């Protein structure tokens, strides 16, 4: 079969395995020539390892200077009679291939990170594949649902505001159009459920579980990823359901940090830049901001993707660089601000000017729609040079790839 891109709304219904391989290789090539991570963790667990910031964290640690062995957890679909499988499935496979070629351990665990079963699998894998301990736990899950173990029901996150309803243009990647959409006000229950799914509770529970199993190394650290953004986006993000979940995550970081003191460890939240990922394309009324932001940051030469953000996080902020000896670089709230270039006042000034002019007719010119769409296609392995998209690929050959 020839694998073509299929987009429904903002969801990709197909992925190109060899394009995903190219995406992984591109990120590896980037970190190999970037400023290296010094004194990075050597045994790393990544929860949410198959795409976005989690995959980039894993690549940065293995190929960007730390030479880490990794266990990665993700929820992905392999090839079957229903389809070729998800992009993350292939990212896992090709990351592992490259890591093993470089003499590193890379174990992929595919399953529900909220479950006890996957916790058990991870503990066993840390014991057998990482020599029994981890030095770093990266928490990078992004999902809309979390099972409630007590009832067997699902908590579902919603993307709503907590103030007055917001009307804003939302992108449809299938039709390349912007359409007005209303972001409604969340009920208290919807806020609480979103905090359950995307807040810090599961992160804390993972750390507790790993601690109970005795697999956290002395000095073990953990990091989770957050977003705050500029004031123009507060109604839809920071003061919305997702922002409330992130606030919970920030508070949780303090609790985990206190807990880890006993083993000389630390917990941090890194506040990242707005980027195109499988998760972020769902946020309504957010696209005009990203389109304007990409345009301005690319013009200024300060634009970063996931891999640039993560390599900079770990080479300049998270591990104490030899030349400075400053320890982790944070703001007064102990947050690592990787959104510093995004929030620079000259950037935000220009972004606001563009957004004020942006309409459904001119957004492809005023904003960086081309770049946005390219990023989206690349997430699913499409649009890369050097990949033969006319190649006839059999399901059998994909099933034969080792996960
Ligand atoms: P993503 O969708 O690219 O990655 C999510 C990962 O979680 C994937 O590896 C997926 O397989 C895994 N996952 C989802 N549900 C799972 C489950 N039940 N069990 C096991 N694995 C599961 O998302 P992205 O954007 O990298 O998000 C990661 C974190 O970064 C999130 O906390 C997000 O809020 C945060 N962030 C994202 C920003 C953006 O603009 N994309 C900006 C700042 C923070
Ligand atoms: Na991720």
> How confident is the model over 113-126, as pLDDT tens digits?
999 999 999 999 99
Q: What is the pLDDT of residue 324?
A: 67
**Mean pLDDT calculated for residue range 206-219:** 98
Q: Which atom of ligand 1 is nearest to the CA of 113?
A: 19
Tell me: pLDDT of 305 over 70.
yes
Tell me: pLDDT of 18 over 90.
yes
Tell me: pLDDT of 323 over 80.
no
Q: What is the pLDDT of residue 12?
A: 87
Question: Is the Cβ atom of 50 under 6 angstroms away from ligand 1?
Answer: yes
Q: What is the pLDDT of residue 284?
A: 81
Among the listed residues 18, 90, 225, 237, the single catalytic one is 237
**Mean pLDDT calculated for residue range 153-172:** 92
Question: Is the Cβ atom of 136 under 6 angstroms away from ligand 1?
Answer: no
The percentage of residues in the chain with a pLDDT greater than 70, rounded to a whole number, is 99
pLDDT band at 101; cut points 50, 70, 90 = very high
pLDDT band at 185; cut points 50, 70, 90 = very high
Q: Report the mean per-residue pLDDT for the chain.
A: 95
Ligand nearest to the CA of 287: 1
Tell me: pLDDT of 73 over 80.
yes
CA separation for the pair 195, 199 (Å, rounded): 4
Name the one residue in this structure whose structure tokens are 């345009």.
295
Tell me: pLDDT of 153 over 70.
yes
Q: What is the ipTM of this complex?
A: 0.98
Question: Is the Cβ atom of 73 under 6 angstroms away from ligand 1?
Answer: yes
Residue of 277, 340, 378 to test ligand 1 pocket, by largest number of atoms within 8 Å of CB? 277
> How confident is the model over 227-248, as pLDDT tens digits?
999 999 999 999 999 999 999 9
pLDDT band at 303; cut points 50, 70, 90 = very high
**Mean pLDDT calculated for residue range 8-31:** 95
Q: What is the pLDDT of residue 168?
A: 86
Active site residue 237: yes
CA separation for the pair 39, 318 (Å, rounded): 10
The percentage of residues in the chain with a pLDDT greater than 90, rounded to a whole number, is 88
Give me the domains of the chain, ranges plus CATH numbers. Answer: 7-399 (3.40.50.720)
């Amino acid at each position: 079969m020839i694998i073509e891109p299929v987009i429904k709304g903002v969801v990709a219904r197909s992925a190109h395995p060899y394009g995903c391989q190219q995406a992984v290789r591109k990120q590896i090539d980037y970190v190999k020539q970037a400023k290296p991570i010094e004194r990075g963790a050597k045994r790393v667990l990544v929860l949410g390892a198959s795409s976005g910031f989690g995959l980039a964290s894993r690549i940065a640690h293995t190929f960007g200077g730390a030479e880490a062995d990794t266990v990665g957890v993700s929820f992905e679909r392999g090839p079957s009679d229903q389809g070729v499988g998800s992009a993350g499935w292939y990212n896992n496979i090709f990351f592992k291939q490259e890591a093993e070629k470089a003499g590193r351990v890379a174990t992929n665990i595919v399953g529900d990170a909220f479950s006890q079963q996957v916790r058990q699998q991870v503990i066993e894998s840390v014991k057998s594949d990482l020599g029994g301990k981890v030095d770093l736990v990266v928490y990078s899950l992004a999902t809309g649902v979390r099972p409630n173990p007590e009832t067997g029901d699902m908590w579902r996150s919603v993307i709503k505001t907590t103030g007055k309803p917001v009307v804003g243009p939302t992108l449809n990647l299938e039709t390349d159009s912007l359409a007005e959409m209303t972001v409604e006000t969340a009920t208290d229950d919807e806020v609480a459920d979103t905090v359950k799914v995307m807040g810090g509770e599961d992160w804390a529970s993972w750390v507790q579980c790993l601690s109970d199993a005795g697999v956290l190394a002395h000095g073990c650290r953990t990091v989770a990823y957050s977003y705050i953004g500029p004031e123009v986006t507060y109604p839809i993000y920071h003061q919305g359901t997702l922002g409330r979940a992130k606030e919970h995550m920030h508070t949780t970081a303090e609790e985990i940090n206190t807990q880890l003191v006993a083993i000389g460890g630390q917990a941090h939240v890194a506040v990242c830049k707005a980027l195109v990922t499988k998760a972020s394309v769902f946020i309504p009324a957010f696209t005009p901001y990203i389109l304007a932001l990409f345009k301005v940051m690319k013009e200024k030469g300060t634009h970063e993707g996931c891999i640039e953000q993560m390599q900079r996080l770990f080479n300049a902020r998270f591990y104490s660089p030899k030349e400075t000896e400053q320890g982790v670089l944070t703001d007064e709230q102990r947050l690592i601000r990787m959104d510093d270039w995004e929030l620079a006042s000259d950037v935000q000034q220009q972004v606001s000017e563009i957004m004020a002019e942006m309409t459904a007719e001119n957004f492809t010119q005023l904003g960086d729609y081309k770049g946005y769409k390219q990023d989206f296609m690349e997430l699913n392995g499409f649009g890369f040079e050097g990949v033969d998209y006319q190649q006839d690929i059999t399901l059998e050959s994909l099933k034969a790839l080792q996960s």
